[in-house]
Amino acid sequence: MPWTKVYSNKAEFESALSDNRELRGLAYKDALLEATSQLLEADETVFVIGEGIDDSGGVFGSTKGLHLKFGRERVMDSPLAENGITGIAIGAAVAGMRPILVHMRVDFIPLSLDQIINHAAKWRYMFGGKVSVPIVIRSMIGRGWGSAAQHSQSLQSLFTNIPGLKVVMPATPYDAKGLLRASVYDGNPVVFIEHRWLYEHMGHVPSEPYTVPLGKAIIRRTGSDATIVAVSYMVYEAMSAADILKNEGIECEVIDLRTLKPLDAPLILESVSKTGRLVIADTGWKETGIGAEIIARVVEDGFGALKSAPERVNLPEAPTPASPALEKAYYPGKFEIAAAVRRAVNKG
């Protein structure tokens, strides 16, 4: 399928587009905008709420102009109150709405963890299945630009530990559009984490509404020597690493995780049973991160398939720096992933 392909840069995408003019190209931010617009258009229960969602930038372009089209009652620029607006969105969800809540940076979410963890994630269970909280919490992680310790974290692991929540991290424009729609109709609270480096990324996106199922990872590249499981932006770095390694005779299978919770363990196990080697490339920290869970799952259910100890590519155990020199040292990329794969291959 053309839309399952990932393109590392615009030139690569445009070249692919010239081969097939019938396919439409859309940037990740525009795919999110289109998904939201189509939801607002067709479903009166959907509304968008967040701080600054109606500003001229429109949350990196992803909500741009929606307030003009659908009015400020359904595209609500809210007072500064992260916990409060999360609670408000939850209350509206219980009363029959499907709110899309936007926390413009994932770093703002800790203020609303009480509402997310103690309320949204619990109610269906606590009230005997009677109450559901169909809320989507969109948020953004970053990389670079000196955003630093309090504005550029990658906090997905806070949520993957909590039963009752789902965690989605789309890497392509196609998945961004389809997963947003699927999240709105999932019936559970979904934490939907985007990556700021992806907003301008181009890909094939059908113009009609469609869904991409939650809980399903996807193989972006097939290979027989090692499995790289990558999250969000790291999918692109993993694809580049696979190109580097191909020249060395190492064939990598790249899995784009797409949903962190619930985890698509069967697909990972199937791939590792073929390659025998596992590398996880995550945008976040190592300890108790998604890589730890993936390795645990593979060890529990596919220990015999492993030819060597798994490897993880993560951030160093330190907050995000502001200094460009430190940033350069901080973020791993294709070279670190390639090195991790080589280690896995050389070990056995």
Partner 1 sequence: MPLEIIEKIEVKRLQIINERGEADPELIPSVSDEEITRCFEAMILARVFNQRALSLQREGRIGTYASILGQEASQVGSARAFSDDDWLFPSFRESGVLVAKGYPMWMLYRYWAGDERGMKCPEGLNIFPMSVPVGTHVPHAMGAAWAMKLKGHRKAAGVYFGDGGSSKGDFHEGLNFAGVFKAPVVFLCQNNQWAISVPRSSQTAAKTIAQKASAHGFEGIQVDGNDVAAVYKATKDALEKAKNNGGPTLIECFTYRLDDHTTSDDASRYRSKEEVEAWRAKEPLLRLRLYLEKIGKWTKGYEESVTKKAEESVDAEIKKAEAFPPPDPADLIRYTYAELTLRQKKEMKESGWGS
Q: Which residues are catalytic?
A: 151
Interface pick for partner 1 out of 129, 247, 303, 317 (rule CB under 8 A): 129
Which position among 16, 65, 70, 78 is part of the footprint of partner 1 (CB under 8 A)?
78
The correct pick among 16, 94, 117, 305 for binding partner 1 (CB under 8 A) is 94
Q: Single out the segment in contact with partner 1 by CB under 8 A; choices: 17-25, 26-34, 220-228, 260-268.
A: 260-268
Q: Binding partner 1 by CB under 8 A: which of 85, 100, 235, 281?
A: 85
Four-residue CA torsion sign, 230, 235, 238, 239: positive
Q: Is the dihedral of CA 67, 70, 72, 78 positive or negative?
A: negative
Alpha-carbon gap, residue 142 to 151, rounded angstroms: 8
Distances from the Cα of 242 to the Cαs of 204, 224, 345, in angstroms? 22, 12, 13
How many residues line the site for partner 1 (CB under 8 A)?
49
57, 213, 266, 324: which one binds partner 1 (CB under 8 A):
266
Which one, 63 or 320, has the nearer CB to partner 1?
63
304 touches partner 1 (CB under 8 A): no
| Backbone CA torsion sign across 82, 258, 303, 248 | negative
SS3 227: strand
Q: Which is nearer to partner 1, 14 or 300 (CB)?
A: 300
Whether the CB-CB separation of 53 and 79 falls below 8 Å is answered with no
Under the binding rule (CB under 8 A), the answer on residue 321 touching partner 1 is no
Q: In the range 211-240, which residues lie near partner 1 by CB under 8 A? A: 215
Exposed, middle or buried: residue 4 (CB in 10 Å: 0-12, 13-18, 19+)?
A: middle
Is 302 a binder of partner 1 (CB under 8 A)? no
Please give the torsion angle defined by the CA atoms of residues 13, 223, 172 and 270, in that order, rounded to the nearest 10 degrees.
Answer: 160
For position 157 contacting partner 1 by CB under 8 A, the verdict is: no
Q: How far apart are CA 194 and CA 101, in angstroms?
A: 13
For residue 81, the one-letter residue type is A
Distance from the Cα of residue 301 to its chain's centroid = 25
Among 22, 73, 208, 317, the residue binding partner 1 under the rule CB under 8 A is: 73
By CB under 8 A, tell whether 127 contacts partner 1: yes
Which span sits near partner 1 by CB under 8 A: 148-156, 246-254, 261-269, 313-321?
261-269
Closer residue to partner 1, CB minimum distance, 5 or 74: 74
Q: Smallest distance, Å, CB 169 to partner 1?
A: 17
55 scored as a contact of partner 1 (CB under 8 A): no
Instruction: Give the integer Cα–Cα distance in Å for 137 and 334.
Output: 30
The angle formed by the CA atoms of residues 113, 141 and 216, to the nearest 5 degrees, is 85
Q: Could you say whether residue 303 binds partner 1 (CB under 8 A)?
A: no
47 touching partner 1, by CB under 8 A: yes
Task: Determine, following the binding rule CB under 8 A, whether residue 286 of this chain makes contact with partner 1.
Answer: no
Burial of 129 (0-12, 13-18, 19+ CB in 10 A): exposed
> Which residues of this protein are in contact with partner 1, per CB under 8 A?
44, 47, 73-74, 76, 78-79, 81, 83-97, 99, 114-115, 118-119, 123-132, 163-164, 166, 186-188, 215, 262-263, 265-266
